[in-house]
């Protein structure tokens, strides 16, 4: 099992700030695109999220996972919290994340007692956002589109 860091673990103070994020059940999206589900029935929620570039993955509250009817994987993953605690958590998805005009598909760690989403580095990198800690905002590296460096 791979360990996923949910929050910074090196004692370093990371910039954390709030943004609204839309989470969509991607299975519903696919069914809608295939004509098997009315587009109006695609489950989606806009929820508050905390940007934390020191965290690795997207983390969602269990209540959001349930409301969206997301598939929860049977196998658990290991997680480590900022305070050093370790545990195991489920992953759920797939989810389509909409953030500041950009979107991509991810899995998310399920956190039972959490009330907001945690937006980690994988989401930020995939959507090609830079963190402006001073102004507490996300800045697209290229304002016109996601920029992807490949070999």
Cα 45 to Cα 47: distance, rounded to the nearest angstrom: 6
> pLDDT tens digits, residue range 90-126?
999 999 999 999 999 999 999 999 999 999 999 999 9
Mean pLDDT, residues 37-47: 98
90 occurs within a structural domain: yes
Residue 44 lies in a domain: yes
Please report whether residue 143 resides in a domain. no
Q: Is 14 a domain residue?
A: yes
Could you give the number of structural domains in the chain? 1
Q: Report pLDDT for 14.
A: 56
> CB burial class (10 A; 0-12, 13-18, 19+) of residue 75?
exposed
The mean pLDDT of the chain is 90
- Identify whether 150 is part of a domain: no
Does residue 149 lie in a domain region?
no
For residue 132, give the CATH number of its domain: 2.40.70.10
Q: Do the domain assignments include residue 147? A: no
Domain contains 13: yes
Q: 29 by DSSP, 3-state: which?
A: helix
pLDDT average, residue stretch 6-18 = 60
Q: What is the pLDDT of residue 82?
A: 82
Alpha-carbon distance 78 to 30, whole Å? 29
Residue 35, domain extent: 3-136
- Per-residue pLDDT tens for 56-78? 999 999 999 999 999 999 999 99
How confident is the model over 23-47, as a mean pLDDT?
98
Per cent of the chain over pLDDT 90 is 77
């Amino acid at each position: 099992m791979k360990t996923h860091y949910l929050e910074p673990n090196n004692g370093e103070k990371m910039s954390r700030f709030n943004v609204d994020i839309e989470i969509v059940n991607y299975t519903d999206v696919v069914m809608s695109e295939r004509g098997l589900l009315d587009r109006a029935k695609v489950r989606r929620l806009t929820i508050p999220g905390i940007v934390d570039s020191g965290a690795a993955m997207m983390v969602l509250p269990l209540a959001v996972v349930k409301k969206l009817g997301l598939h929860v994987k049977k196998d658990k993953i290991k997680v480590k919290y900022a305070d050093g605690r370790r545990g195991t958590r489920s992953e759920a998805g797939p989810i389509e994340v909409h953030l500041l005009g950009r979107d991509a598909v991810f899995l998310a760690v399920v956190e039972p007692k959490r009330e907001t989403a945690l937006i980690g580095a994988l989401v930020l990198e995939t959507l090609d956002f830079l963190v402006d800690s001073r102004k507490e905002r996300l800045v697209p590296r290229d304002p016109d589109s996601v920029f992807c460096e490949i070999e």
